[in-house]
Structure 1
Amino acid sequence: MRLFKTLTTLALGAILALPAAALADEAAERLNQLLEPVHTYRADFEQQILDGSGQRLQQAEGRMWLSRPGKFRWEVDAPYAQVVVSDGEEVYLHDPDLEQVTVQALDTRVTHTPALLLSGRVADLTEAYAVSRRQQGAAETFTLTPRSADTLFEELALTFYGEQLGVLQMADSTGQRTAIYFSDVAVNPSLPDERFTFVIPEGADVIRDSH
């Protein structure tokens, strides 16, 4: 469960014979072209966590919604029910089994929160990440390497199919990889503000993280 908490607390922006710097600029520009038109987003997801040898450690399923900038809702059904909601200012992590809610200020640094990679400001991506791109048939994959060492992940990869995000993958320093597969995707649906409002359940233990 801690693995999912780490991921979600933290939840949903041309290959040519050119110099490396030019390729990186083109990759970042292309990623911006794909993410910039996305203002709201909803999808079902399957999340898998693999160890360094590729063995599956955990699997979860759920749903996500986001509204840029900074608002998202991430609901995990199984194996551990969990809800993470950002209202654009604070992030609420609810563990129903523990009857506990953790509240922390939204960290807008996209190197810290994978969900903010999608819900944050696209213009921040090229400042936070070095971007490369590769095309394999209909799949267009962008690999993002954080420019700062102060991050939970060493590498992020976004794969688009027909200009629609299909997979988000993350790798940490231990070699552990997290892959999130999206399905039943809706781009720019109408989402009520209430979707990104969290009401703390009566009787829940509330922990406020000041860091």
Structure 2
Amino acid sequence: MKPMTSLLGLVLALVSPVVAIADQGAERLTRLLEPLQTYAADFEQQILDSSGQRLQEAHGQMWLSRPGKFRWEVDEPYRQVVVSNGEEVFLHDPDLEQVTVQPLDTRVTHTPALLLSGSASELTESYDVGRQQQGAAETFTLTPRDPDTLFEELKMTFYSERLGMLQMTDSTGQRTAIRFDDVQYNPSLDDSRFTFEIPDGADVIRESY
């Protein structure tokens, strides 16, 4: 299974104090995400089964520009490039010489990358948000309100108010953990980074929703 497969993705309580905590978590998460316009980082991604055993590990680089533009490059041996220009998403598998093109699904519950490149207000409208703090680390637990989603729980951890980790759990209990390093907040990014040219000779598969 390719590493990007898992990226293409709190029950409401009746007790008022719990609801208040969730509201505060959503407000705090919005304050952390709103100033973020561009982002660049190296990443390490691990896929773990429901028992915590590591199934796969990958490394690469990512860039994003809000709203809706991102580029995700996975290094060997799982080479893959995923690019969104804000309208379409291109997934290039160099080993298969194949490019899959599909419209950008703007539902943040279906495209985890949009958790960063999309609107913070849409994010908090789509999830119940819980918050925990331990020292300089703040972890937000997001539970989708829509049952038609790629994952059942997502955690975002900020270190000194900088995003450092994403963790996604699907319905089978499989977990994807992505740690970011060499993070750049709001760097200057050329728009050409989010343009993808289909290589000559590549098989092109076009999908629609």
* TM-score bin, normalised by smaller chain: over 0.9
Q: Does 1:6 align with 2:21?
A: no
Corresponding residue of 1:129: 127
Deviation at 1:103, TM superposition (A): 0.2
Task: Name the CA distance, whole Å, in 2 between partners of 1:44 and 1:191.
Answer: 15
Task: Detail structure 1 runs of 4+ shifted over 4 Å in the superposition.
Answer: none
After superposition, where does 1:96-115 map in structure 2 within 5 Å? 96-115=94-113
Normalising by structure 2, report the TM-score: 0.95
Deviation at 1:127, TM superposition (A): 1.3
Residue ranges of structure 1 left out of the alignment (5+ in a row): 11-17
Task: Name the CA distance, whole Å, in 2 between partners of 1:126 and 1:82.
Answer: 30
Normalising by structure 1, report the TM-score: 0.94
Match of 1:153 among 147, 151, 154: 151
Corresponding residue of 2:36: 38
Corresponding residue of 2:12: none
The answer to whether the Cα contact below 8 Å between 2:66 and 2:118 also exists between their aligned partners in 1 is: yes
The answer to whether the Cα contact below 8 Å between 1:9 and 1:93 also exists between their aligned partners in 2 is: no
> Quick one: which amino acid aligns to residue 5 of structure 1?
M
Deviation at 1:124, TM superposition (A): 0.2
Deviation at 1:94, TM superposition (A): 0.0
Deviation at 1:8, TM superposition (A): 4.1
Deviation at 1:120, TM superposition (A): 0.5
Corresponding residue of 2:179: 181
Residue ranges of structure 2 left out of the alignment (5+ in a row): 10-15
Deviation at 1:78, TM superposition (A): 2.6
The answer to whether the Cα contact below 8 Å between 1:159 and 1:166 also exists between their aligned partners in 2 is: yes
Task: Name the CA distance, whole Å, in 1 between partners of 2:76 and 2:102.
Answer: 24
Deviation at 1:58, TM superposition (A): 0.2
Deviation at 1:114, TM superposition (A): 0.9
Task: Name the CA distance, whole Å, in 1 between partners of 2:135 and 2:89.
Answer: 38
State the superposition RMSD in angstroms.
Answer: 1.1
The answer to whether the Cα contact below 8 Å between 1:9 and 1:91 also exists between their aligned partners in 2 is: no
Task: Name the CA distance, whole Å, in 2 between partners of 1:6 and 1:116.
Answer: 15
The answer to whether the Cα contact below 8 Å between 2:8 and 2:110 also exists between their aligned partners in 1 is: no
How many residues get paired? 203
